[in-house]
Chain A
Amino acid sequence: MRARTVRLWSVVHTWTSLISTLFLLLLCLTGLPLIFHHEIDELLGYAPRPEAHAGAARATPQVVAAAALAADPGRVLQYVSWDKDEPGIVMAFTNGAPDGAPDNATMRAFDAVSAKLLGPVGIGPMLIVLKLHTDMFAGQAGKLFLGTMGLLFAAAIVSGVVLYWPFTRRLRFATIRDSASHRVRWLDWHNLIGVVTLAWALVVGLTGAVNTWAELMLSQWKATELASMVAPYAGKPPPVHLASLDDVVACAKLAAPGTEVAFIAFPGTPFTSSHHFAAFMRGDTALTARLLKPVLLDGETGEVADVRALPLYLQALLISQPLHFGDYGGMPLKVIWAALDGLTIAMIGSGLYLWLGRRRKRRPGRSDAFAGRAPVPS
Chain B
Amino acid sequence: MHGSSDRARLWIRVFAAPILLATATIIGLLAALLWGTTGQYVAWVTVGAPVGVVGWVWMRGRSQKNGPILPTIPAK
Contacts and interface: CB of A to CB of B under 8 A. Distances in A.
Interface of A: 161, 164-165, 168-169, 172-174, 176, 178, 192-193, 195-200, 203, 285-287, 290, 319, 322-323, 328-330, 332-333, 336-337, 339-340, 343, 378
B74 to A, nearest CB: 27
A286 B14 contact: no
Given A169-B10, A192-B57, A286 B50 contact: no
A173 B14 contact: yes
B14 to A, nearest CB: 5
B73 interface: no
Contact of A323 (B33, B36, B54): B33
Interface of B: 7, 10-11, 13-18, 21-23, 25-26, 29, 32-36, 39-40, 43-44, 47-48, 50-51, 53-54, 56-57, 61, 64-65
A276 B26 CA distance: 40
Contacts of B14: 164-165, 168-169, 173
Contact of A329 (B18, B26, B32): B32
Contacts of A322: 33
Contacts of B51: 336, 339-340, 343
Contacts of B65: 178
Given A198-B22, A286-B34, A340 B10 contact: no
Given A164-B14, A198-B18, A286 B33 contact: yes
A137 B57 CA distance: 40
Contacts, number: 98
Contacts of B48: 332, 336, 339
B23 to A, nearest CB: 8
Given A174-B57, A340-B51, A199 B36 contact: no
7 contacts: A169-B10, A169-B14, A173-B18, A322-B33, A330-B40, A333-B47, A336-B51
B44 A196 contact: no
A203 B26 contact: yes
A136 B6 CA distance: 50
Nearest to B64: A178
B32 A286 contact: yes
A285 B23 CA distance: 24
A350 to B, nearest CB: 12
A195 B17 CA distance: 9
B35 A286 contact: yes
